[in-house]
Amino acid sequence: MDIQLTEEQELLRSSIQRFLREQYDFDERRKIVATDEGWSRRHWKSFAELGLCAAPFQESSGGLGGGSLATMIVMQEFGRNLVVEPYFETVVLAGGLIEDVGSPEQRQAFLPKIMEGEATWALAWAEGRSRYDFNNVTTTARCQGDKFVLSGTKAAVVGAPWADKLIVSARTSGGPRDRDGVSLFVVDRHAANLHLQSYKTIDGRRAAELTLMNVEVSADQMLGSEGAGVVALEATRDRAIAALCAEAVGAMSVLNSATLEYSKTRKQFGVALGTFQVLQHRMVDMFIALEEAISLTQHLNLSLSAHEPNGSKLASGAKSKVGYAARFVAEQAVQLHGGMGMSDELNVGHYFKRISSINVQFGDPAYHLTRYAQQS
Amino acid sequence: MELELSSEDAAFRDEVRAFIAENYPQEMRVANPETDLTREQSLLWHRILHKKGWIAPLWPKEYGGPGWSVTQRFIFEQETSRAGTLPPLAFSVTMVGPVIYTFGNDAQKKKFLPGILSGEDWWCQGYSEPGSGSDLASVRTKAVRDGDHYIVNGHKTWTTLAQHADWIFCLVRTDPAAKPQAGISFLLIDMKSPGVTVRPIITIDGSHEVNDVFLEDVRVPAENLIGEENKGWTYAKFLLGNERTSMAGIGRSTRYLARLKQIVRTEVGEDDAAFGEFIREIARVELDVLALEATELRIVAQMSRGIDPGPAASLFKIRGTEIFQRITDLTHQAIGNYGLAIREHPVTANRFMPGPDYGHTATEKYLNSRKLSIYGGSNEIQRNIIAKAVLGL
């Protein structure tokens, strides 16, 4: 089942690799994270010029038609280099949603700017008490003539502090936990009566809590059908998981090779660390974890691009399995690097933190294990 | 779980409990005492215990110890840790102090012990060096005798709270020709000496607990040598034994488990499928704590009958750190989406942190606790010790 990349896909991968090698080493990333915004508009522009922002979109939308395999290729390389620019938030989440459920007018209005690197987006689905369920929505959207008025709070919105546009889930009908009645709205980040409280995330990004106090949006800013937001978000999550798994695989592969290299060069008690059998077996388990993660990530991406019916169940399975595997690799990479693994100076801890963040986003491995078990 | 206490011991326990309740400074009850307190705030409780005469439970009475039995010492440890008090300066009281009164000369005892007890002198530990890891005998910092001084050159690392320290106790190599363990000496160095530079090491949780300490042509009076030249390894091993006994951390784990339960009850509804999963995982950890606590009590009972605990310290270190890591992991999971947020250091009240207060330190604790299985002799090393010393492998 090993994916043989097409010539076009190979080209995409090698162009990303070349760019990141030349312009996105760990020191450069550190500088980017330390800036006020925490990401680089210059690099973002370059990603767009390389065609990355257009890669997964259909040709009919003006994209390059690469689909989820293109996303997988991009995200794996981004995972290897800990790229912090809002590709996942803008292209995978928002772009995917707009292409999936947006009206022709909305696709026309929003997608070109995303593909050209002109606009960044963030997806506000979570709330303080929602945990990982899209139906747990208390934010309301009241219909008033040709407008909707949004009120409530949204939590942990990664990328919101500097996004141009937000997609906000809000209840247009039903009770606080009903699957039906949640709708999605495009909200300008500078909209009146929208208040943001920003903070740093574990992996060096920026997120915000959103407070909406009677934020008015015109009815044509509703994304998808009224009341059908949960279904749209679930499909988005499947794609999101496929992307996050690819990113995790990229991060794991760097951790494994760094740990292996370290164990061959670092001496303790007069011999290389790698000569201790207990550490050899640990690294074999890390190797196996990565192999399994690669396989499941490829399997998921192939299933999603073929629109196979069990894609959503498989997405949860992969989020769980790859999440546990990535955590094992990350924790052991820190352990085997000893004190250095704990230091902010070395890259290992930063991969650890990105993996920790991936494991929270859209549901932790335990959550998805349960969801996998419950899906028939 | 409780020891079966005599009426005297029970009265002692009540006395300790009441003393903590009445005297532990409110100022020290911050979100994360290990990183959020100033130097002065960290010393408040130390000074109160000193005034009470309880600062150094392990020390013999003649040097300022309270003269407690094994059981009383255990009760004190248990009560202070259950109450969540910040331990007094461990590198001073638990580590260097006993080395000085056991191996030091009278002048050294007179000079150093009072400052250790009162908290006037803050000590840090100069053991680890870049590349040494758990192999401490690989010390490369050199001390060369020059008249009545040593000239010290080297680089110590992972030095906890060196930024606050007045003194550092160092392992230094005095005989480069000897076998690794044989050429080491134990030297006390004034941090104000010319040539001592402290550089912060920021860890993955963003905090500043550890440091690099550079020693460049530092002149140290020869009178600061502990015991004999080249016998430092003996003193170092003695000290490490003290370091590892305190790592079971039952009190801390019990407190964090209670908090985890509270978070799960508040954050995860009983009708949430995750609830049952959390309850089972918490129960599993609770049993781990119970088993470790029972082991600790069994060892205490054996020690009070005069039986040598052997490498029990390694067992405590392994299980204590694994348990605490698991608790911080579950706590991080329990706060859900807010597990993405992390406090910025140095911590100030005006920086916004999202979500309920009880979750604000969950992420940093999860990250910070990764160090537990690495420091103080990695858990791999502790397993080697048990394999060799207990199993005879």
Reported as a single tens digit per residue, the pLDDT across B17-53 is 999 999 999 999 999 998 999 999 999 999 999 999 9
Chain A interface includes B332 (CB < 8 A)? yes
- Residue-level length of chain A: 376
Beta carbons of A344 and B344 less than 8 Å apart: no
pLDDT tens for A316-373 read 999 999 999 999 999 999 999 999 999 999 999 999 999 999 999 999 999 999 999 9
Tell me, yes or no, if B344 comes closer than 8 A to chain A by beta carbon.
yes
Q: What are phi and psi of A101, to 5 degrees?
A: -120, -5
Q: Across residues A307-315, what is the average pLDDT?
A: 95
Look up residue B162 and give its DSSP letter.
G
Q: Which residue of A has its CA nearest to B354?
A: A209
Catalytic (active site) residue B243 = yes
Phi and psi angles of residue B207, each rounded to the nearest 5 degrees, phi first: -95, 165
Chain A residue whose CA is closest to B339: A360
Query: Which among A129, A199, A267 has CB closest to B352?
Result: A199
pLDDT at B244 over 70: no
Rounded distance between C-alpha atoms, residue A99 and residue A109, angstroms: 11
Angle at A293 between CA A288 and CA A297, to 5 degrees: 155
Determine the distance in angstroms separating the CA of B214 from the nearest CA of chain A, rounded to an integer.
Answer: 17
Give me the pLDDT at residue A1, please: 60
Cβ separation A344–B374 shorter than 8 A? no
Tracing tokens 């007045």 back to the chain, one arrives at B166
Kindly report, residue by residue over B146-170, the tens digit of the pLDDT: 999 999 999 999 999 999 999 999 9
Helix (H) or strand (E) holding B393: none
Residue with tokens 């858990």: B379
- Across chain B, mean pLDDT equals 93
Write down the residue that tokens 């605990």 correspond to: B309
The C-alpha atoms of residue B323 and residue B257 are separated, in whole angstroms, by: 10
Q: Give the other-Cβ count within 10 Å of A10's Cβ.
A: 12
Give me the interface pTM, i.e. the ipTM: 0.96
Confidence of residue A268 (pLDDT cuts 50, 70, 90): confident
Q: Does B284 touch chain A (CB under 8 A)?
A: no
Q: Is B90 on the interface with A (CB under 8 A)?
A: no
**The pLDDT of residue B329:** 97
pLDDT tens-place string over residues B100-117: 999 999 999 999 999 999
A155 touches chain B (CB under 8 A): yes
Q: Amino acid letter at A67? A: G
Q: Pick from A134, A199, A206, A359 the residue to mutate for testing the B interface (most B CBs within 10 Å).
A: A199
Q: Which of A84-93, A207-216, B122-131, B297-306 has the lowest mean pLDDT?
A: B297-306
Q: Which of the four pLDDT bands, split at 50, 70 and 90, describes residue A269?
A: confident
Rounded to whole angstroms, the Cα distance separating B18 from B385 reads: 40
Arithmetic mean of pLDDT over chain A = 97
Size of interface A-B (CB pairs under 8 A): 126
Q: What would the DSSP string read from start to end of A140-206?
A: EEEEETTEEEEEEEEEEEETGGG-SEEEEEEESSS-TT-STTEEEEEEETT-TTEEEEEEEBTTS-E
Cα angle, residue B370 at apex, residues A32 and B310 outer, rounded to 5°: 155
Whole-angstrom distance, CA of residue A357 vs CA of residue A180: 29
